[in-house]
Amino acid sequence: MSSGPKVKVLYTCKNCGIVDREVPIREREKDEDVIGWMRTVQKELGEDHMRCSSWCQSRLCDIKIPLVGKENCRIGEAPRQ
């Protein structure tokens, strides 16, 4: 896992009962397409789901990706302090 800024993505699996489990995902690169970043999100959440609930056969989860700021926000941007 990279040491750069992280986005706190939450997921819920209605099949196995995981609710709003937080998974830190690397921040989307400035020139990275959102589709490519979402593939990373999907992979990381899938791996976490398997670790937490290896018996669950569901391939569908609800996810929440926070947006930073109100204007000019980008999906996958980590909050700055």
Q: Is 55 exposed, middle or buried (0-12, 13-18, 19+ CB in 10 A)?
A: exposed
**Full pLDDT tens readout for the chain, 81 residues:** 467 899 999 999 999 999 999 999 999 999 999 999 999 999 999 999 999 999 999 989 999 999 887 777 788 988 876
SS3 state of residue 40: helix
Q: Which residue ranges make up each domain of the chain?
A: 6-64
According to the model, what pLDDT value does residue 68 have?
Answer: 82
